[in-house]
Structure 1
Amino acid sequence: MTSSSSGDYTATLPRKRMGSAVLLRNDDGRILLVEPVYKDYWELPGGAVDADESPYDAAVRELEEELGLGIAPGRLLVVDWVPPRTGRTEGVMFIYDGGLLDAARTDEIHLPADELRSWAWSTLIEAQQRLSPLLARRAAAAMEAVSEGVTVYLEDGNRIV
């Protein structure tokens, strides 16, 4: 084992990008998707994990920033390792269970106009049309994790465990 000049070996280790999202559902089994103004596909509510922030805290923060909702997500549904590709480093993505959102909570949604164009409840089939292929696989795995009562591990959106 080697050490850096500061004595912190961990500072020399590779860094990975991290993101967190939340799966919110309604009584009809639809999932909530958001439409960013800066992308040509939709996403689950969430975003990048900031420096010195836990993935869980990022999920809570992103729900507040993107939807104006103060929700404490439940259990971890998905961990997805994403390999590097052109313009993106490798990353680790987390999806937490946001539970069911009733009509009263849904009415409280307020989008930041500079970040999100719209939101919609979507079936998994509709989600496949709105999400990128990777995000569609991840969302489907999150729904499976909810129904099976498990946490699933993915690589590039494909279930490994």
Structure 2
Amino acid sequence: MTASDYTATLARKRMGAGALLSDQFGRVLLVEPTYVPYWEVPGGSVEAGESPYAAVNRELREELGVLVRVGRLLVTDWTPPAPERTEGLMLIYDGGLLPPDQTARIRLPAAELRSWAWCTLPEAATLLPEPLARRVTAAARARQENTSYYLENGHFIA
């Protein structure tokens, strides 16, 4: 078996990259997509041949219309397969503080995003799917503790 034959047999995983953006009050920025019935962090799918870091920077420009200096990786979360999707790796990077002048320049692509909001972590937990709420909470904790975490479906792994 050649290396390319072997590579063709390996599992393929979805990858997504998002950013934890905060305001001066410690709230996190969430976006409301038009294509799913729940909110998300700004970010999206990593395209073929694209690094997760490049993807999160691209997605922030496309989704918010503002340039953000994305920092370090806060969370890597393995998500199990579900009937409508394959397993995946979801990454959250530190988007830092978005000051009021940049916040005022947010422009959403109407076909993709309905709205955005600053939310406390408890508010975010009511808008996000449970695994994503756990992921965002872990990302906020990782930022505060100056570390990074590995999760599975939003749960800490010992």
TM-score range normalised by the length of the shorter chain: over 0.9
Cα drift, residue 8 of structure 1? 5.3
Is structure 2 residue 79 aligned with structure 1 residue 82? yes
Aligned pair 1:50/2:47, yes or no? Answer: yes
Of 140, 143, 151 in structure 1, the residue corresponding to residue 140 of structure 2 is: 143
SS of structure 2 residue aligned to 1:138 = helix
Distance (Å, rounded) in 2 between the aligned partners of 1:72 and 1:29: 18
Offset of 1:69 from its aligned partner?
1.3
1:99 to 85, 92, 96: 96
- CA distance in 2 between counterparts of 1:93 and 1:106 reads 25
Q: Per-residue displacement from partner, 1:50-100 (whole Å, max 9, x unpaired)?
A: 000000000000000100012230000000001111111000010000000
1:99-144 CA distance string (max 9 Å, x none): 0011011011000000000000000011011111111001100000
2:2 corresponds in structure 1 to: 3
Structure 2 residues not aligned, in runs of 5+: none
Q: State the one-letter code of the partner of 2:2.
A: S
Q: Which amino acid aligns with 2:109?
A: P
In the alignment, does 2:127 pair up with 1:113?
no
Runs ≥4 residues deviating over 3 A: none
Percent of residue pairs identical: 58
Please report the RMSD computed on the Cα atoms of aligned residues, expressed in angstroms.
1.1
* Pairwise CA distance, 1:18: 0.4
Correspondence 1:129 to 2:126: yes
Matches within 5 A, 1:21-60: 21-60=18-57
Distance in structure 2 (CA, Å) of the matches to 1:145 and 1:109: 26
The yes-or-no answer on 1:73 pairing with 2:70 is yes
Give the partner amino acid of 2:116. Answer: W
Please, what TM-score do these two structures have when normalized by structure 1?
A: 0.94
